[in-house]
Homo-oligomer: A and B are copies of this chain.
Amino acid sequence: MNIQNKAWRTIWVEQGGHSIGVINQTKLPHEFLTCTLSNYQDVVEAIKTMKVRGAPLIGVAGAYGLMLAIQEDPDDSFLELASSKLLATRPTAVNLLWALTRVLERVKPLSLAERAEAARLEADLIAEEDVAMCEAIGVHGCELIQKLASARPVERQKEPLNLLTHCNAGWLATVDWGTALAPIYKAHRAGVDLHVWVDETRPRNQGASLTAYELSREGIPHTLIVDNAGGYLMQHGYVDAVIVGADRVTRSGDVCNKIGTYLKALAAQDNDLPFYVAIPSSTIDWSMSDGVREIPIEIRSPREITHIDGCLLESAINTRLATIQISPSGTKGFNPAFDITPSRLVSALITERGVTSSREEGLKKLFPDLSNGQHP
């Protein structure tokens, strides 16, 4: 996507493949900084600290991390070590496991001398496929949005279509385009009059910082709300549909996404509104069925709750990034990063192969090649 007329991706190869560059997402929207990751430990640190985040992007970053590890030492034992360290950075998104497995399976049959080149090609392929999958999600989701817009009562069709999204599932969460935002970008470019309600997404405020940033750069009308406000908006007819991404989807269609997603799905159901989840197939975990019982939920530091980062306005011209504490000193916090939206609350899944029901039959029909034999 474009930032000040320059096309950017979130991740790229530097120095002929001996390092990778990423946008440091912890400083957005206040500062646009990039950083260079020169070895797999740098990638581990970048994922842990959320310089790089978003399930699809974590997968791609993991693949490049393994590429850097192989350059360091192509031996099996080192690969296993690097892979396990990369995998342990964040437990919930399945894309990381998927991408690491792809690279490992690609290089393991090869001689040590061939591995670095093969890993580079495989990581590049994963990145390119991510772009293609996200763009395809955009195309299919755009059709859905166009149908939604024209299915409204005639008097409502003069108003923008109101979509609500949670967290950031835009191009910053992938290599390009995004998942939940890809249909919005495509629909906007196709001339659909739309407006996006942007959930702040506590505790890390990815909506307020990243989604608002993305949408403003694309010129898409949007309004920031607190996570608490979605129910009110739906009660009063200000939302036409909800669209979110996911970090893992079970074969039965249970959706694991950023904490708070489940609450929006409940409100959508209570107000008869469609709730869509946009995912590349790399987000589907065919080995799992029951999201609440089976998907590991990352518990992050309570400091993310008790302290908030932002831009301190010291004077009209002098600003700097700073951290404030919002609770009494010593207050304990508990910070689960994801929750599960049961498939019964999901109206449809938007994938790179099209839109399907969030039921096992629907997923299997769309992905017979992926679902076969990967679970009992």
Chain B residues with Cβ below 8 Å from A270 are 266
Query: Taking chain A's interface residues, is the majority helix, strand, or loop, or is none over half, making it mixed?
Result: mixed
Minimal Cβ-Cβ distance residue in B for A310 = B324
A222 CB–B CB distance under 8 Å: yes
User: Do A322 and B312 form a contact, CB below 8 Å, given A231-B339, A235-B292, A305-B226?
Assistant: yes
Q: Map CB proximity to B onto A1-44 as digits: 1 under 8 Å, 0 otherwise.
A: 00000000000000000000000000001100000000000000
Minimal Cβ-Cβ distance residue in B for A321 = B324
Does the CB pair B235–A305 fall under 8 Å? no
Does the CB pair A324–B339 fall under 8 Å? no
Which residues of A, 293-340, contact B by the 8 Å Cβ criterion? 297, 302, 305-313, 322-328, 330-336, 338-340
Q: Map CB proximity to B onto A44-58 as digits: 1 under 8 Å, 0 otherwise.
A: 000000000000000
Minimal Cβ-Cβ distance residue in B for A203 = B226
Cα separation A67 to B208 with both chains bound (whole Å): 44
User: Do A225 and B334 form a contact, CB below 8 Å, given A263-B267, A328-B29?
Assistant: yes
A276 CB–B CB distance under 8 Å: no
Cα separation A88 to B264 with both chains bound (whole Å): 32
Cα separation A335 to B333 with both chains bound (whole Å): 26
Chain B residues with Cβ below 8 Å from A197 are 334
* Distance to closest chain B CB from A221 (angstroms): 8
Q: Which one of A121-129, A130-138, A209-217 is at the interface?
A: A209-217
Does the CB pair B205–A326 fall under 8 Å? yes
Cα separation A263 to B302 with both chains bound (whole Å): 23
Q: Map CB proximity to B onto A264-283 as digits: 1 under 8 Å, 0 otherwise.
A: 10110010000000000000
* Distance to closest chain B CB from A164 (angstroms): 12
Cα separation A27 to B165 with both chains bound (whole Å): 33
A201 CB–B CB distance under 8 Å: yes
Chain copies in complex: 2
Chain B residues with Cβ below 8 Å from A230 are 263
* Distance to closest chain B CB from A265 (angstroms): 9
Chain B residues with Cβ below 8 Å from A227 are 202, 226-228, 260
* Distance to closest chain B CB from A330 (angstroms): 7
Picked from B30, B223, B309, B325, the residue with its CB within 8 Å of the CB of A333 is B223
* Distance to closest chain B CB from A258 (angstroms): 8
Chain B residues with Cβ below 8 Å from A262 are 231-232, 235, 267
Q: Map CB proximity to B onto A102-119 as digits: 1 under 8 Å, 0 otherwise.
A: 000000000000000000
A158 CB–B CB distance under 8 Å: no
Binding site for B on A (CB under 8 A): 29-30, 197, 200-203, 205, 208-209, 212-213, 216, 222-233, 235-236, 258-260, 262-264, 266-267, 270, 292, 297, 302, 305-313, 322-328, 330-336, 338-340
13 further contact pairs, Cβ within 8 A, besides A231-B260, A232-B262: A29-B328, A200-B326, A202-B228, A216-B331, A225-B305, A229-B336, A231-B263, A232-B339, A233-B336, A263-B264, A311-B325, A312-B312, A312-B323
